[in-house]
Amino acid sequence: MSQARTAQEERDPTLATAVHRRLREDILAGRLPPGRKLKLRDLVEQYGAGPSPMREALSKLAAEGLAERLEHRGFRVAEAAPGQLAGLIRSRVLAECAALRAAIADGGPEWEEALLLAAHRLNRVARSLDPQRFVSNPEWEDRHRDFHQALLAGCGAPPLLAFCDRLRDEAERYRALANAMAYPGRDVAAEHAAIACAALDRDAAAATGLLAEHYERTGAFIGTSLGRLAGAVAP
């Protein structure tokens, strides 16, 4: 990379945004695993950005809780300790159930239509790319995120939605680490359909109860999977 190109890139604020997005995706997908040292020189080479936008991207990841700043030693990917999972799931349940109650109370026809469309699109995509074994489907992951965002979008409280998005990102990272298998004996599509139906029926008690159960089941599965992974790599 030439000095001229580096200088031009470092003056471009959109480069830091693009690098942040790529790093964030790699962390959430588990391609950059918990605890991995984020060495500036290696990242500059791998992602094709200069040091300044890379530092800006890493600082933003640290502010989002996806990276940790090491005193005088740069950054690393934030740890994903199984012991923190229960608190994360509980926080999601509290925050998203509050947002869902507000969406059910205040969401208009546009919210209903967007939720119906998101549920339909999610239901049309297979969760696994291989019917014989679980292979995560990126399209399903995108539509799954769209569904959960559409579910809450009518709440009319952008700061609460932003907080829910952050908790969702943290939970997705745990889920990606445990995503070596599908949920055994569980019909996730039916769970999503039941949540959507209750929300569209304006039944806040049923919808929030189903959403809480949905996350608690996922949390239990992730906790079990991470425990198995930890046991497999233990000396």
To 5 degrees, how large is the angle CA 70–CA 72–CA 78? 10
Q: What is the pLDDT of residue 235?
A: 41
pLDDT (mean) for 152-177: 91
Beta strands 37-38 and 67-70 are unpaired
Q: Enter the DSSP assignment of 33.
A: -
**pLDDT tens digits for 73-119?**
789 998 877 778 899 999 999 999 999 999 999 999 999 999 999 99
Residues 6+ apart with CB under 8 A from 162: none
Q: What is the pLDDT of residue 27?
A: 86
**Domains of the chain, CATH where assigned:** 3-77 (1.10.10.10), 82-233 (1.20.120.530)
Q: Please state the pTM of the whole predicted model.
A: 0.77
Q: What is the pLDDT of residue 15?
A: 83
* CA dihedral over 136, 214, 98, 87, signed as positive or negative: negative
Mean pLDDT highest for which of 19-23, 122-126, 182-186?
122-126
**pLDDT tens digits for 169-194?**
888 888 877 765 556 678 899 999 99
Please state, in angstroms and as integers, the Cα–Cα distance from residue 175 to each residue in 63, 94, 110, 183, following that order. 21, 19, 31, 11
Collapsing DSSP to helix, strand or coil, 39 comes out as coil
CB 214 within 8 A of CB 175: no
DSSP per-residue letters across 105-149: HH--HHHHHHHHHHHHHHHTS-SBS-SSS--B-HHHHHHHHHHHH
Question: Which band of pLDDT confidence, cut at 50, 70 and 90, is reported for residue 2?
Answer: very low
Q: Which two tokens stand for residue 157?
A: 């409280």
Percent of the chain with pLDDT over 70: 88
pLDDT (mean) for 143-164: 97
Question: Which band of pLDDT confidence, cut at 50, 70 and 90, is reported for residue 210?
Answer: very high
Q: Poorest-confidence range of 80-84, 142-146, 227-231?
A: 227-231
In one-letter notation, the amino acid at residue 39 is K
